[in-house]
Chains A and B, each alone.
Chain A
């Protein structure tokens, strides 16, 4: 589904990703862990198509297409979704209006029929219920005045509504209390199926107690230095990231 090969990316002339490779197949959940500054968020932003990230070398293929050729809205229509680490507040833009515009733009781009407002509201209510979110959320401006936890839950709600093929969660767990963390995890787990993949970027092991990954990758200094199953995350929790760096120096990788 997603095939990243030897990706080098610079931001403002500074190389952040230094030869990152990753393969994600449908149905898989990949966790990407690593210390601050390793380039985890850069990876999410590059995949979503944010400006200011220069791909110096390497390729990103998504379902047989060159993802890097697509505009951000084309990537969304193709099924890529990024849950932002810092969701943006947009005062004056109503949530209902925004999400209906987004969903219908995606459907249209895929050659599917647009939803009328009744169909849309029905879908919205279902998804809100799953995530235990209040309906009045839809009458508010996008993320405006939301608490940190509400913003993160809103990201997951949008993901549930837009039903992407590939969801990238960029530190969705940061700043969440345990209840909010469980709600977010429930939302993600409810969406796991054989045709959908997740890339879960996180700093802490805690989230992976609730969203159990198939693969765990450790990212240090712009590349993946170690991959394994879930037990790798537990080892990291125990030994810290310095342990990975030391193992590399010792030639264990």
Chain B
């Protein structure tokens, strides 16, 4: 198994097998496709451009089409340094800047794949919006390896929005190294796609490092999203706080595996992981697995995972006020997911996530793009 993963050097590694348990079949199905290289110079349809062309981010935006930087859609000033070396790009954020990083997948005549590696160096403060969009057609598999380094004392916001048609798959590995007194806040909103796999590795390597993660997926049809989060507390007085919401309707499948390790010597660590999930159909499935391993003393740690159905009392309450059943369901599902975005500082982005969510909600009737 895992020829598709070879470029990441993890193809047949035994210890990785277990982590693919719920996505093995989805991966095998992708391997059946004869994936050719994606077109590096594919033109972007206007409909796709509209999805990422936000007035707020036009001044600082990098657009990758099928993994290749599309200069005509990209614009950055001197405070953001970008170097491309083959399949790898290095981005250095200096000063408080917001960068909109867009990955657009456009299909070819037959199934294709693309790959990209991004290294992000954050010296002080920064904000990154990593945004995945795609057009429907023959299959596209995008693979992204994203590494973020936070210098001591740095403060970084990372928002990940995937808004994919059911013919696009994404394998995304992201790793973050958080140094002394640095803070990483991440928010993820994952929608659509044939298969999405997110491997997120976070290392709290310096004393006082902090990591806050919020995320939600809302899935329907046969969408498959698999999130593997691996947080490692490796220094004193480090904090991690993870809150996820998952919704699955019809035959969708969602997986959230959250592992927190507090290494020996990481005394004073404070680790929280909570995931709540909603199953809207008897054929949908959500697997939520929190795993906690503690090798240090004086540690505060808690975790919890629930999978449930829509609250009938709340549904009746809304209907008793005149809201029709379908709208009441959409209100409750939206509210459930929005709880994960409550702490998001950027109001403009909240509205955009809200809009994407409304379009993507199970039962909202919005056709997958």
Contacts and interface: CB of A to CB of B under 8 A. Distances in A.
Interface of A: 48-51, 71-73, 75-77, 81-82, 84, 87-88, 90-93, 97-99, 101-103, 105-106, 109, 141, 158, 162
Given A72-B316, A92-B338, A162-B321, A101 B327 contact: yes
B317 interface: yes
Contacts of A48: 316, 320
A51 B339 CA distance: 27
Interface of B: 311-314, 316-325, 327-328, 331-332, 334-339, 342
**Could you say which of B316, B317, B335, B342 has the most chain A C-beta atoms within 10 Å of its C-beta?**
B317
A90 B317 contact: yes
A51 B321 CA distance: 15
A98 B319 contact: no
B321 A102 contact: yes
Contact of B320 (A76, A90, A109, A141): A76
Given A92-B336, A92-B338, 7 more contacts: A48-B316, A49-B316, A72-B319, A87-B317, A90-B317, A92-B337, A92-B339
A109 B327 CA distance: 14
**Could you say which of B312, B313, B327, B334 has the most chain A C-beta atoms within 10 Å of its C-beta?**
B313
A141 B331 CA distance: 12
A73 B339 contact: no
B217 to A, nearest CB: 15
16 contacts: A48-B316, A50-B316, A51-B312, A73-B325, A73-B328, A75-B320, A76-B320, A81-B321, A82-B320, A92-B338, A92-B339, A101-B331, A105-B322, A105-B323, A158-B321, A162-B321
A216 to B, nearest CB: 26
Nearest to A159: B321
Contacts of B321: 76, 81, 98-99, 102, 158, 162
A109 B336 contact: no
Nearest to A72: B319
B335 A141 contact: yes
Contacts of A101: 323, 327, 331
Q: For the complex of A and B, list the 8 residue pairs with the smallest distance between their C-beta atoms, beginning with the closest.
A: A92-B335, A93-B335, A76-B322, A106-B322, A102-B321, A72-B319, A88-B317, A92-B339
Nearest to B339: A92
B342 A92 contact: yes
Contact of B323 (A51, A73, A91): A73
A162 B331 CA distance: 19
A168 to B, nearest CB: 10
A93 B314 CA distance: 11
Given A92-B342, A101-B327, A73 B322 contact: yes
Contacts of A88: 311, 313-314, 317
B313 A73 contact: no
A210 B111 CA distance: 73
Contacts of A141: 335
A199 to B, nearest CB: 15
Given A72-B316, A88-B311, A93 B331 contact: yes
B335 A162 contact: no
**Could you say which of A48, A97, A105, A158 has the most chain B C-beta atoms within 10 Å of its C-beta?**
A105
Contacts of A71: 319, 325
Nearest to B341: A92
B320 to A, nearest CB: 5
Nearest to B338: A92
Given A90-B314, A92-B342, A109 B322 contact: yes
Nearest to A48: B320
A100 B328 CA distance: 13
Contacts of A81: 320-321
A217 B323 CA distance: 32
Contacts of B312: 51
**Could you say which of B313, B323, B339 has the most chain A C-beta atoms within 10 Å of its C-beta?**
B323
**Could you say which of B316, B320, B327, B342 has the most chain A C-beta atoms within 10 Å of its C-beta?**
B320
Contacts of A106: 322
A120 to B, nearest CB: 14
